[in-house]
Structure 1
């Protein structure tokens, strides 16, 4: 059978040592749209994302991509007990929790990853992983948890799983901001270690059922986190203790992402959707929660 939960759940996916430098942080921030507004090249606040030196900060979402930042091959899917096709896979959700203080602008770490759950959604499967990044001295730096949604691979008799939607406040948001995704955004972001052809190759995207290559879900994830950080946290990435979101829909390069955020009980709740065009109001991210340090 394509998915065997008895083999998959609890499987040790191994450890990976990785390193990053200031140039990687700069490229990542540019890939999620930092520095793109008029005047950002002169703004001390904006240059905290895009200029190397003592003022450079690291948006926590960088920790999600840091372990594979220098990968040049499409992401492997050799998961124990899971025989799946890359063309049927989309990112389901992503979360990062900062446990060791603000992410440094350069360093070396090891991430150990475990396959924690496999959910049977009938017509699809949801596969969960959790990774813990530690310093060479053994100090925990951050934790990541993610899921992938595999179309056509449900019905294997596994647990359906559960989730509680994040309820947004019934009032006007504390911030509403839009970001125009550039036509080359996915081509730039893929240099951050995700060479999945779904985001660059029109023929591959068509075979997967899309009219054109789509933006990386993690690019939208980073765009929304940066937007909320700038709008509600004075642009201070060190104030972010964690960030979680569900990928609720696709973004095509050239579209606009509208982000709304509410400050509630020591955290920020948010939503992201397409603004304008034929897909106005189409969801991008749901269940968005930013935890404050």
Structure 2
């Protein structure tokens, strides 16, 4: 059987050391569209080393994001990567991410759920430096055709989208070259750059990384509702529901609640096709 859930969950965690510096952070922010206008004091918090802060979503690329792919090679996991989709992402911040750092990652399969026609693998990465825990990241990996092994279905409860009008709606343009720049932070999947590969995968042209939409959305919320202070974010969770093509727009709707922002993201050029759903940002 391609997935042995019990074996995967019981496997020893994989550990590795990662390092990053201000250039990695600046490149990541630029890949999210930061720096426009280039001299805007709000944008300099993402681009200028003397004022630099770190968006919590940087956790998904720190160390070139190697922990997630390593998790798919865990004992008990033997899947065709062509059938793998990133279904959701959650990051819990234990404290703000420093601009420069060296840390130890511990990655394991936290759960495997049986959705009958597919499996969902939860890859958990815990990261700590010499001062203690930094963040915990859960990637929900959807594997088509690998369900039906008799496992638990997993949690089904989802955050409710408020029925009232959003408190804020902002549009964030996706540049034509955005995926080409974002991939320099470590996701080299040709789906996001090679037109021929994209066609083989069923798309007319390369698509934007889901985690790029994820980071762009967090930046928009931080800038709009959190006074531009990324250190206020304590948790960020989303479910990926659709694709984005470079050159399109992210329409980000925000509902403010006590210590929480609920968010939806759509692509207005394609009849508001869903991009991110069940999105929650908790903050101080």
- Calculate the TM-score normalised by the size of structure 2: 0.94
Question: In structure 2, what is the Cα distance between the partners aligned to 1:82 and 1:206?
Answer: 27
Question: In structure 2, what is the Cα distance between the partners aligned to 1:203 and 1:10?
Answer: 39
Offset of residue 75 of structure 1 = 4.3
Q: Which 4+ runs in 1 deviate beyond 3 A?
A: 74-77
Offset of residue 248 of structure 1 = 0.9
Aligned to 2:45, the other structure's residue is in SS state helix
- The answer on 1:80 being equivalent to 2:71 is no
Tell me which of 224, 233, 239 is aligned to 1:231. Answer: 224
CA RMSD of aligned residues (A): 1.6
Aligned to 1:110, the other structure's residue is in SS state strand
Deviation string for 1:247-291 (max 9, x for gaps)?
111111111110011111211011001112xx2211111111101
Question: In structure 2, what is the Cα distance between the partners aligned to 1:268 and 1:210?
Answer: 32
Aligned to 1:169, the other structure's residue is in SS state coil
Aligned residues: 282
Q: Which moved more, 1:174-183 or 1:8-17?
A: 8-17
- The answer on 1:195 being equivalent to 2:191 is no
Q: How does 1:1-293 map to 2 (within 5 A)?
A: 1-36=1-36, 40-53=37-50, 55-68=51-64, 75=69, 77-99=72-94, 101-137=95-131, 139-276=132-269, 279-293=270-284
Question: In structure 2, what is the Cα distance between the partners aligned to 1:44 and 1:17?
Answer: 34
- Calculate the TM-score normalised by the size of structure 1: 0.92
Q: Which runs of 5+ in 2 are unaligned?
A: none
Offset of residue 67 of structure 1 = 2.6
Q: State whether residues 88 and 208 of structure 1, in contact with CA within 8 Å, keep that contact through their aligned partners in structure 2.
A: no
Aligned to 2:134, the other structure's residue is in SS state strand
Question: In structure 1, what is the Cα distance between the partners aligned to 2:145 and 2:198?
Answer: 17
More helix as a share of residues: 2
Offset of residue 96 of structure 1 = 0.8
Aligned to 1:203, the other structure's residue is in SS state helix
Q: State whether residues 16 and 67 of structure 1, in contact with CA within 8 Å, keep that contact through their aligned partners in structure 2.
A: no
Question: In structure 2, what is the Cα distance between the partners aligned to 1:58 and 1:200?
Answer: 26
